[in-house]
Chain A
Amino acid sequence: MAQRVNPPPSIPDDVYNPTDNPRVNALYGYLDKTVTIVGCGMGGEIALHFLRSGIKNINLIDFDTLDAGNLVRHPCGAKHIGKNKAKAVRDLLVEYSPACRNGIKAYKWNILDNRAKFESIISQSDAVVIATDTDSSRFLANEVCIETKTPAIYVAMFQKGAGGELFTYIPGGVCYSCLALHQDRHDYVREYVDAENKADCSSKRDVRSMPGLGIDQSFLAAMAARKTLDILLEGQEHSLAPMGKNWIIWSLSGIKALESTLSSHQFDLPQHVGCMFCNHA
């Protein structure tokens, strides 16, 4: 005879509040910071890392809608299909920790069409994670982060999830445009700079094939979240070891630059002499 499963009792909102978690507190204590995530695909997974790490003020920005094809990588399940990705991730986070609902905000718009709103949000953020898949959005975020002196972490997965890239901008230092120029991606920078309306080049996507699985993405999401924690903990007593330099290349299953699997290269890149963004900041 099958054992009867009782429905769970009503769970109080504050049953799990990451900001009160003793393990989080033992590592770095209360973390009263605000993080903004642009792009709620991989960004959704990063947001969940933030919440579990005690960050309760999270802005989520994405104009896109979650569809069934996204579920191979996305933390939200089938019941969220059809929702805006930012709102779907917000619902997931609130479900995870209802006590944090007031600090989690979802914005359904494209940063390229709403620069003023974006600037306003970024100027009140302690760090920004850029997890988008167009260079135009990365360059716009780069401009805004330089202007508002806001640290930023750019994360991207390479084709078929074979590896990826993590770049960190600290105000006054080397920026995302410098990275692109160091990589001889002058045409991408030039297209953005030359476009009178930055939204005009927003449809140019880097991706022309399947980007990879959720398990490929998870490595990069965890690295991005961990790197962000480093920035947020700057100046605060904590016991986390700092992670990596400003440019990290990650190889999961072997990439052209790094044939070894499960390995990384990292460098502290200098500013690029031809950069017209951070050199004027």
Chain B
Amino acid sequence: MGLTLDDIDKHYGTSGKRKPLDAGVLEKTQTALKGTEVKIAGTGTIVPVNSPLPPDAQNIASLVSTEERSA
């Protein structure tokens, strides 16, 4: 998918500091790393990448994404 540790560094930051989401990197990361585990370069942090959502959960997640929320 063309994903490199540099891409992940751009997303997560080599110092471990959080950075704003980069939609392009995020998309590549999501696509390439589902079901795996990755060590973030420069930090040693292990990012758990769990299984993708089951289709029924993904469907419901999409459907409720636009719900207004109150309490």
Contact = CB atoms under 8 A, between A and B. Distances in A.
The 8 residue pairs across chains A and B that have the minimum distance between CB atoms: A270-B50, A211-B70, A156-B69, A257-B63, A131-B71, A183-B65, A42-B71, A207-B70
A3 interface: no
Given A184-B61, A270-B50, A279 B70 contact: no
Contacts, number: 115
Nearest to A194: B20
A102 B70 CA distance: 30
B48 A206 contact: no
Contacts of A279: 12, 45, 47-48
Contacts of A186: 21, 23, 26
Interface string A242-281: 0000010100000111100000010101110110110110
B70 A206 contact: yes
Interface residues of A, number: 47
A223 interface: no
Nearest to B51: A270
B6 to A, nearest CB: 17
Interface residues of B, number: 37
B41 to A, nearest CB: 14
Given A193-B20, A194-B20, A273-B34, A184 B65 contact: yes
Contact of A157 (B62, B65, B69): B69
A155 B71 contact: yes
Contacts of A274: 11, 21, 26, 29-30
A270 B53 contact: yes
A198 interface: no
A156 B54 contact: no
A208 B67 contact: no
B71 A133 contact: yes
